[in-house]
């Protein structure tokens, strides 16, 4: 009787995971879709130069936001999962309080220093016009850092609906306010300023709504003493890695335009516009799979941490293997589409051929990028934060070396080469470590077969699109070719038994 009950509970648990992942994915897809549409509107309203200024401001802001809060939400989620595994309710509230205290102790001094020292920190920007626009975001540094901690508490307590709704509404507020502010805008600098104000308004919204919901659901602030030390020791490596990511992006935002000006002969406006095309248009398209993978990570991470702390080795191995394969599966489906239709999609969305060329050339980066993202989440859930930080730094060095050494010869494409090297090396090192942590995990055969399937799908799509582009517009190319390529790739994967419909059946089952 007990065995049957345990089996039933296990089945219900799996169904809940599938349903939670599906729900988060739907909300996240809508949210990213809104952001993507908004970026198209921004591009067409304020131009590549305005988008470049906007992107530089957000990139530098992301550095300070990452320093203040990036590792804390993940650690709060994990500490809450650990407290849930041991039945410690007070420990869950203590973890949230410790997280809020840590972020406030960092963000308030940082915001004040940056505000009063604005004339000193102009070197952070490759374009002097960015400084005054950046200052607008400083109140948001404090507010969104606190929201990030509350968001981590939603993950840890498995309140995925609340998390998803607030994230979606935050983006919706930004889009609505942004469109209203930039409507009819002709000046790129003024347009970038208005877009940044819209970001700040969205931060205020998510801060207020998340706090309201946290207290409404019984959350409270208690003494942080119990969880303060473990939170700091565990979040520090994650914060260091994500801060390094933001610093890397900021370094690229400063170095790459400067090298384009000094080595390639571009003017300042041309260099900023090229940077805007690469970082503001092309790279977001490459990160489309991360929307789906991020949804999986949000749902799986608390469950994986709980099983890890309960020493359920078999469950951990199963979760890790399925999660990594899911990320590879998503990349395999989407890589051929970006390779074949990247140019058509870019012309349709941005009316920019360079963006399309960058997307087509770099489409293969999606696979190591997806693997890196999901394995970082998995390894951090298993207390491997220091190792993932080291691996990231190795990748960052390769990227900066590529930009420094190849920009003279490749121009903006030196960044793409660096991104590819960084993602390939980091993904390989992460998978190697994961193999050691989960003895018996099998992913090599699946990865090799996925690469072969993707190559075949690329050839199929290339031939199909070559016929279609003679007779139809870019819109019809996308509408016809993309579904056929998805069906073709999915059919091969299904025939090779590389995925099943079982999760979908569980999703719709009662």
**Spatial contact of 51 and 42, defined as CB atoms under 8 Å apart:** yes
* Rounded-to-integer distance, Cα 234 and Cα 370, Å: 24
Looking at residue 305, its pLDDT comes to: 67
* Rounded-to-integer distance, Cα 43 and Cα 51, Å: 6
Please give, one letter per residue, the 3-state secondary structure of 2-51: HHHHHHHHHHHHHHHHHHHHHHHHHHHHHHHHHHHHHHHHHHHHHHHHHH
Looking at residue 510, its pLDDT comes to: 43
Looking at residue 128, its pLDDT comes to: 72
Looking at residue 14, its pLDDT comes to: 54
Looking at residue 126, its pLDDT comes to: 62
* Rounded-to-integer distance, Cα 198 and Cα 179, Å: 9
Q: Enter the tokens of residue 366.
A: 């999606």
Looking at residue 250, its pLDDT comes to: 75
* Rounded-to-integer distance, Cα 378 and Cα 372, Å: 10
Looking at residue 508, its pLDDT comes to: 43
Looking at residue 339, its pLDDT comes to: 94
Instruction: Report pTM.
Output: 0.70
Q: What is the dihedral of CA 250, 254, 257, 262, to 10 degrees?
A: -150
Q: Enter the tokens of residue 269.
A: 């406006």
Give the N- to C-terminal CA distance of the chain in Å, as an integer. Answer: 22
Looking at residue 418, its pLDDT comes to: 94
Q: What is the dihedral of CA 436, 437, 440, 444, to 10 degrees?
A: -60
Looking at residue 208, its pLDDT comes to: 94
* Rounded-to-integer distance, Cα 21 and Cα 15, Å: 10
Q: What is the pLDDT along the chain (510 residues), one digit of tens a residue?
A: 545 445 554 555 555 566 666 777 777 778 878 887 888 888 888 887 888 888 888 888 887 887 777 677 777 877 776 776 666 677 778 888 888 888 888 889 888 988 887 777 766 776 677 888 888 888 998 998 899 888 888 877 778 788 888 988 999 999 999 998 988 777 888 888 889 999 999 999 999 999 999 888 888 888 887 777 777 776 777 677 667 776 787 788 888 989 999 999 898 888 888 888 888 788 888 888 877 777 676 666 666 766 766 677 777 777 788 888 888 998 999 999 999 999 998 888 888 889 999 999 999 999 999 999 888 888 877 777 778 888 988 998 999 999 999 999 999 999 999 999 999 999 999 998 888 887 778 788 889 999 999 999 999 999 999 898 888 888 888 999 999 999 999 999 988 888 766 654 554 444
Q: Enter the tokens of residue 103.
A: 């972020």
Looking at residue 507, its pLDDT comes to: 43
**Three-point CA angle 232, 237, 238, nearest 5°:** 95
Looking at residue 483, its pLDDT comes to: 93
Closest to 226 in 3D by CA, of 88, 341, 356, 37: 88
Q: What is the number of H-type helices and E-type strands within the chain?
A: 19, 0
Q: Enter the tokens of residue 467.
A: 């016929």
Question: 10 Å Cβ neighbour count for 393?
Answer: 15
């Amino acid at each position: 009787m007990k065995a049957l009950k345990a089996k039933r509970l296990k089945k219900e648990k799996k169904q809940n995971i599938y349903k939670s992942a599906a729900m988060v994915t739907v909300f996240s897809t809508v949210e990213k879709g809104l952001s993507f549409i908004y970026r198209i509107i921004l591009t067409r309203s304020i131009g590549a130069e305005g988008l470049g200024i906007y992107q530089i401001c957000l990139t530098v802001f992301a550095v300070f936001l990452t320093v203040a809060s990036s590792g804390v939400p993940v650690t709060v989620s994990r500490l809450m999962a650990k407290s849930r595994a041991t039945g410690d309710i007070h420990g869950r509230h203590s973890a949230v309080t410790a997280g809020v205290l840590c972020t406030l102790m960092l963000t308030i001094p940082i915001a004040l220093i940056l505000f009063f020292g604005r004339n000193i920190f102009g070197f952070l920007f490759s374009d002097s016009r960015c400084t005054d626009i950046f200052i607008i975001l400083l109140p948001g540094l404090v507010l969104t850092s606190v929201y990030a901690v509350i968001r981590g508490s939603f993950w840890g307590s498995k309140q995925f609906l609340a998390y998803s709704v607030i994230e979606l509404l935050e983006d919706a507020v930004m889009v609505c306010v942004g469109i209203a502010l930039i409507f009819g805008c002709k000046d790129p600098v003024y347009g970038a300023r208005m877009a940044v104000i819209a970001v700040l308004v969205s931060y205020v919204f998510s801060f207020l709504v998340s706090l309201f919901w946290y207290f409404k659901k019984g959350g409270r602030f208690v003494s942080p003493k119990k969880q303060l030390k473990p939170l700091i020791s565990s979040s520090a490596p994650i914060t260091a890695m994500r801060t390094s990511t933001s610093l890397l992006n900021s370094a690229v935002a400063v170095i790459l335009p400067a090298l384009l000006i000094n080595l390639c002969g571009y003017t300042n406006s041309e260099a900023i516009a090229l940077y805007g095309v690469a970082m503001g248009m092309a790279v977001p398209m490459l990160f489309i799979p991360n929307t789906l993978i991020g949804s999986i990570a949000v749902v799986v991470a608390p469950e994986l941490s709980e099983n890890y702390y309960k020493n359920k080795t078999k469950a951990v191995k199963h979760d890790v293997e399925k999660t990594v394969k899911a990320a590879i599966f998503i990349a395999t489906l989407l890589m051929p589409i970006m390779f074949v239709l990247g140019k058509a999609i870019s012309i349709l969305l941005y009316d920019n051929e360079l963006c399309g060329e960058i997307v087509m050339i770099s489409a293969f980066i999606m696979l190591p990028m997806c693997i890196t993202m999901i394995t970082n989440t998995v390894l951090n859930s298993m207390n491997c934060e220091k190792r993932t930080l080291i691996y990231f730094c190795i990748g960052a060095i390769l990227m900066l070396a590529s930009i420094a050494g190849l920009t003279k010869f490749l121009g903006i494409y030196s960044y793409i080469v660096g991104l590819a090297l960084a993602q390939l090396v980091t993904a390989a090192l992460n998978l190697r470590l994961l193999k050691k942590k989960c003895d018996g995990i099998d992913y090599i055969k699946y990865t090799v077969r996925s690469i072969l399937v993707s190559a075949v799908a690329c050839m199929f799509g290339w031939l199909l699109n070559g016929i279609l582009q003679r007779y139809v517009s870019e819109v019809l190319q996308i509408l016809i070719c993309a579904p056929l390529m998805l069906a073709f790739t999915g059919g091969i994967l299904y025939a090779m038994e590389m995925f099943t419909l079982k999760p979908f059946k569980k999703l719709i089952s009662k």
